Amino acid sequence: MTADRLSRWLPCNHWLRHYNRNLAGQDALAAIIVTLMLIPQSLAYAMLAGLPPITGLYASMLPLLLYALFGTSSSLAVGPVAVVSLMTAAALQPLFPAGSADYIAAAMLLALMSGVLLLCMAVLKLGFLANFLSHPVISGFISASAILIALGQLRHLLGLPAAGDNALAMAVHLWQAAPGTHWPTLLTGVCSLILLFLARFRFTSWLQRLGCNETLAGHIGRTGPVLILLLAILLASWLDLADAGVSVVGNVPTGLPSLTLPSWNTALAIQLLPAALLISLVGFVESVSVGQTLAARRRERVEPNQELVGLGTANIASAISGGFPITGGFARSVVNHDAGARTPMAGAFSALGIALTVLLLTPLLHNLPHAVLAATIIMAVLSLMDLDALRRTWAYSRPDALAMAVTMLGVLLVGVEAGILLGVGLSLLLFLKRTSEPHIAVVGQLPGSEHFRNVRRHPVIQSPSVLSIRVDESLYFPNARYLEDQVAKQVSEHPGVRHLVLMCSAVNLIDASALASLQAICERLREAHIQLHLSEVKGPVMDQLRRSPFLDKLSGQVFLSQYAALLALDPQTTRLALDNKATVISKPA
Amino acid sequence: MTADRLSRWLPCNHWLRHYNRNLAGQDALAAIIVTLMLIPQSLAYAMLAGLPPITGLYASMLPLLLYALFGTSSSLAVGPVAVVSLMTAAALQPLFPAGSADYIAAAMLLALMSGVLLLCMAVLKLGFLANFLSHPVISGFISASAILIALGQLRHLLGLPAAGDNALAMAVHLWQAAPGTHWPTLLTGVCSLILLFLARFRFTSWLQRLGCNETLAGHIGRTGPVLILLLAILLASWLDLADAGVSVVGNVPTGLPSLTLPSWNTALAIQLLPAALLISLVGFVESVSVGQTLAARRRERVEPNQELVGLGTANIASAISGGFPITGGFARSVVNHDAGARTPMAGAFSALGIALTVLLLTPLLHNLPHAVLAATIIMAVLSLMDLDALRRTWAYSRPDALAMAVTMLGVLLVGVEAGILLGVGLSLLLFLKRTSEPHIAVVGQLPGSEHFRNVRRHPVIQSPSVLSIRVDESLYFPNARYLEDQVAKQVSEHPGVRHLVLMCSAVNLIDASALASLQAICERLREAHIQLHLSEVKGPVMDQLRRSPFLDKLSGQVFLSQYAALLALDPQTTRLALDNKATVISKPA
């Protein structure tokens, strides 16, 4: 294997060669801040996934190392993230009791499958599949997930039992069970929420007012949540909150996880396949968009196909070290970037920090109230909600807004997978519906130019004997018959026409169905003594037409440009128009 | 209701006003020929559908009357057709024993559902759905169905029991069971086949040689199959073939069918829904293509939406008069057209002919051997096979050929419904795959013109400071991220460029995902000190862009044409190119 191919598959090979003390210092500082941020988040997202909190720490060690080896983004911080944890819970909760041994094993299996699927997509170059998760679908999915997550965590804040598998059922259940609220738990949760809010929006400016410089204040500000976690543990131990009925994390095993392959169960794997596929795609899309945004700031590039390898190996690493599905998180990656991470080594350093935590600090977690973790989750997901996006999208494009709304409703009322699938399905259907009745314009020459535009929008010159029609769509099976209808209609509305020029500047494909339609159109026009011509046919389309007998049977010619066609078929009108001497016949409506 | 709206919903209102003796004479002649053709075909296709032969005659009365009232094609002859009968059998045979009372009732229910679905499509303007059955899928489906039908009928010719639910299983079964061939049945079948072959390809020319004029010979030629049917009945009665073990039709009820609604069964209806939907779509597509082809010959038009009403009411009529799903048949319609049918009244006359047959001639059918009907079916479907279509399509378009091959294999090896669904699914997937990585061309000015083309295909002039890129696809979610990548790539390959003009002549849509990508591209280019411009943006796309903040944030301008853009951004090079004085820098590869 050449060095070049090696560094394509192992991008670390590239940056490790130039790694030095200076870069290491910057990476280490970023790693400390990210680690302090990662501890509360990974505990919380494990709880969100229905797993023991410690598994969140397990999922934040080995995967970070693997991503450092195989990933291409210098800023991406992988680990447990809210949306993927929610999807994990949604996939597993119907099958096993949350937190049971079967549930934990299934989560590992899900991570393994997700990792293998990502690697398969890398090998088969199927990364393009992720593109089908359109912007509105992803945006609607994330906002709705945030609502679903926040609703689901409210019960931890109120100290109520779990119930309801969709947003409506959860809300109704919370409303009905509200009288049974456990007040010490609620107090713990609300205090945590207030403190987390202050830490997020006020802490940094207070530090600055105390004389810290902006950068340092920013760095210390990020440690707010971990300080609140410590404070909560101290207070919970001191006030003996567990005895007061406040649910706490309880005994946590100390030491690194043992490395084992998840136990294989074919029936279960088949059941989990759709969830694994969607988790892979959603995780990949989230990760790549964060990575690309951050890379653009430093004029770097993220290689999507290699990201599949990075995330795939990271998920497999999570699976064999007792974790669950993970991906690159938005908030954490931005912090990593802002704190100055220069290479993926920062991730490896973070993994080291988490390993030290697992080795030394787990006994501390015993008295951590679940309500504090719930508050952490709620604070984190609130920033993911972008309900205004629906209004903005509606203003720009109704079909996109419809897809977004359906995704949101699907996620809230049916389930996370159903929501995504409904959104993607509707996006495709609306596109195909649109493309099946394309915009078709009769065009004329803009006076004084060789340019042809829609007669209804521009003051143009039309030849009396040549009808020019521009079809604004590729010609393929959904619209082939529509084209036949439209041409017949236009011809009947323009008596006296001897030539019809189909301007193909917007035709990017003519498939076999459309070819049959074109042949039928040509035959019908021939019987009406009208010649069919094509203009501005693109290279690739022309190459394909040459492989069929169509061009031999065409009654007219193929012109390089619409202007060349008109110049040949009606030189007089065309020259007058170019010299700006013709009278404009058509007026825009 | 105004007369205009009335004649839109009841097209007969239009032609009945001008109906006269002359038209009636022409229609009646065509009706006699079609009736004589319809008798053997409807008996045979009923057998193909797994139903008693008499139901084929039932399905050829009332539906023809209803189509005459609501249909728009003057030539279309509706009734039982091979492909729809095959689909009926495929849907019902897994559920009930062929020919049982439950089976007959289910066939009526299927016709009812199919009719109601067609009417729903008419009301909801969903006729465009039929367009998703692309030309290659329909062609592959029909060829494979013909093979499947012929294989299925061979057992009647050999006098063997039924077996196998796919082409392979049928072929294996026939091979294994061949030693049990019933020789008298085979003799009957082979003789029928030979006679049918001669009737089809020789009869007319013999008649001409005997002094008949061409038209009369053609008309008499069409009656060959019904004469063979009569001959077979006479011989079978005389030779007592039934006693020799040759399977015959047996007792046939005399008299018109009683009119009853099929008994409703919700569970069964849900089970039959996919089949009913596909039968409706396939029937509609077949019918409309035949109708349009024949209408074009006489400069008439077929109104697809009204055809949905015509076929929908015809199927409902079939359901309530003891029939099964029907549609417009290709061969019969061509005969109807050639025999001079001028209005849908010809269909009503045919219905009358069939009614007389049912009232008077059914006792004759008792001794008709099944093998003769099987031979009729085999002769009819052989002409539907167009295996060369696969080769022609392969030469023109690999994805289309792939969709055709998969449809054929699906129909032959899995089932008729599965075949169609596989074909349609694959067509869509291949289109989306293609569209997700669109063709992108760097363009330059053709010397001496205002026209811009691909630098790799044409000798053109490129400005050193302006990069012109033409994207040959609508910009929407499957390719939004690809565009970002490609623009980054092109910019890095063209250092020194200060302006990038995106030529949007082939962009028919910019959806919300692509808009986000364009914004990202604009921002990234701005940081690299490159202005982003658009040119040749179409009216509808421009209208939409104006509803977003994108144009306010655009670093460059929107130009009416690519030439106008270059004239503004690099006047010197552009003017020299127009005057044909510039040196061609790029050479086509």
pLDDT at B63 over 70: yes
* CB pair distance less than 8 Å for A563 and B476: no
Model confidence pLDDT, tens digit, residues A234-267: 999 998 888 888 888 888 888 889 888 888 889 9
Question: Can you give the C-alpha Rg of chain B in angstroms?
Answer: 31
Task: Spell out which residues of chain B touch residue A396, defining contact as CB-CB under 8 Å.
Answer: 512, 515, 544, 547-548
Asked if B287 and B41 count as a contact pair (C-beta separation under 8 A), the reply is no
Contact B451, B459 (CB under 8 A): no
Q: What is the pTM of this model?
A: 0.76
Average pLDDT over residues B30-34: 89
* Cross-sheet strand order for the sheet of A440-445: A452-454, A440-445, A466-471, A499-503, A531-535, A558-559
| CB contact at 8 A, B137 and B153 | no
Q: Chain A partners of B548 at a C-beta cutoff of 8 Å? A: 395-396
**Could you tell me which chain A residue has the CA closest to the CA of B508?**
A472
Give the rounded percent of residues in chain A with a pLDDT score beyond 70. Answer: 96
Q: How do residues A129-139 score in pLDDT, each as one tens digit? A: 777 788 889 88
Task: Compute the average pLDDT of residues A484-502.
Answer: 88
Q: What is the pLDDT of residues A144-174, one digit of tens each?
A: 988 988 998 898 888 888 777 788 888 888 8
Contacts of B523 in chain A (CB under 8 A): 296
Q: What is the mean pLDDT of residues A488-507?
A: 90
The ipTM assigned to this model is 0.78
Evaluate whether B512 touches A393 at the Cβ level (below 8 Å): yes
User: Mean of the pLDDT values across residues B402-416?
Assistant: 92
A446: which chain B residues are within 8 Å (Cβ-Cβ)? 560-561
Cα separation, B316 vs B500, in Å, equals 61
Alpha carbons B39 and B355: distance in angstroms, whole number: 11
pLDDT at A587 over 70: no
> Would you state the pLDDT for residue A1?
46
Asked if residue A113 has pLDDT above 90, the reply is yes
As a three-state string, the secondary structure of A48-99 is HCCCCHHHHHHCCCHHHHHHHHHCCCCCCCEECCHHHHHHHHHHHCCCCCCC
* Cα B29 to Cα B37: distance, rounded to the nearest angstrom: 13
Q: What is the mean pLDDT of residues A531-542?
A: 93
Burial pattern B227-242, b for ≥16 Cβ within 10 A else e, equals ebbbebbeebeeeebb
Q: Which residues contact B457 (CB under 8 A, 6 or more apart)?
A: A539, B588, B589
Q: Mean pLDDT of all residues in chain A? A: 88
Q: With contact defined as beta carbons under 8 Å apart, do B134 and B427 qualify?
A: yes
Contact B560 A134 (CB under 8 A): no
The full DSSP string for A441-455 is EEEEEPTTSS-EEET
Segment A278-293 shows an average pLDDT of 87
Note the pLDDT of residue A222: 79
Please answer whether residues A248 and A370 qualify as being in contact, where contact means their C-beta atoms are separated by less than 8 angstroms. yes
Rounded to whole angstroms, the Cα distance separating A499 from A566 reads 10
Task: Determine contact, residues A282/A66, Cβ cutoff 8 Å.
Answer: no
State the Cα–Cα distance between residues A49 and B47, nearest whole angstrom. Answer: 59
- Chain A nearest-CA distance from B77, in A, is 22
Q: What is the average per-residue pLDDT within A345-351?
A: 93
Of B316 and A582, more confident: B316
Work out the average pLDDT over A409-419: 89
User: What is the DSSP code string of B492-508?
Assistant: HHSTT--EEEEE-TT--
Q: How far is CA A154 from CA A151, A160, A365, A411, in A?
A: 5, 9, 21, 18
Residue A586 confidence (pLDDT) = 56
Residue of A nearest to B424 (CA): A477
What sign results for the dihedral spanned by CA atoms B470, B523, B433, B544? negative
Nearest to B563 among A451, A453, A540 (CB): A451
- Choose from A129, A135, A439, A492 for mutation: most chain B CBs within 10 A: A135
Long-range pairs, B180-185, Cβ under 8 A, ≥24: B182/B158, B182/B245, B182/B246, B184/B159, B184/B241, B184/B244, B184/B245, B184/B246, B185/B156, B185/B157, B185/B158, B185/B159, B185/B245, B185/B246, B185/B247, B185/B369, B185/B371
Query: Do the beta carbons of residue B457 and residue B442 sit within 8 Å?
Result: no
Q: Do B539 and A563 touch (CB under 8 A)?
A: no
Q: How confident is the model at residue B588 (pLDDT cuts 50, 70, 90)?
A: low
3-state secondary structure of B248: strand
Pairing of strands B499-503, B531-535: parallel
Q: What is the DSSP letter of B479?
A: G
The pLDDT, as a whole number, for residue B79 is: 94
Tell me the β-bridge partners of B261. none
User: In Å, how far is B313's CA from the nearest CA of chain A?
Assistant: 24
Inspect the interface and report whether the beta carbons of B131 and A454 lie closer than 8 Å. Answer: no
d(CA A105, CA A302): 33
Give the best-scoring range by mean pLDDT among B329-343, B481-495, B524-538: B524-538
Q: C-alpha angle B217/B222/B226, rounded to 5°?
A: 125
What pLDDT sits at residue B7? 65
CB contact under 8 A, B477 and A427: yes
The pLDDT-based confidence of A341 (bands split at 50, 70, 90) is: confident
Average of per-residue pLDDT across A273-297: 86
Residue A127 pLDDT grade (very low, low, confident, very high; cuts 50, 70, 90): confident
Interchain pair A480, B446: CB under 8 A: no
Which pLDDT score is estimated for A533?
A: 96
Q: Which residues partner with A477 through β-bridges?
A: none
Tell me the per-residue pLDDT of A352-395, one tens digit each, with 9 for 90 and over: 999 999 999 888 888 899 999 899 889 888 888 888 889 989 99
Q: Confidence class of residue A4 from pLDDT cuts 50, 70 and 90?
A: low
Q: pLDDT digit string (tens) for B271-301? A: 999 999 999 999 998 888 788 777 766 767 6
B427/A477 Cβ within 8 A: yes
- Cα separation, B415 vs A306, whole angstroms: 41
Q: pLDDT tens digits for B341-375?
A: 888 899 999 999 999 999 998 888 888 999 998 99
Distance of CA A410 to the CA centre of its chain: 17
CA distance B133 to A502: 25
> Looking at chain B, which residue has its C-alpha nearest residue A391?
B548
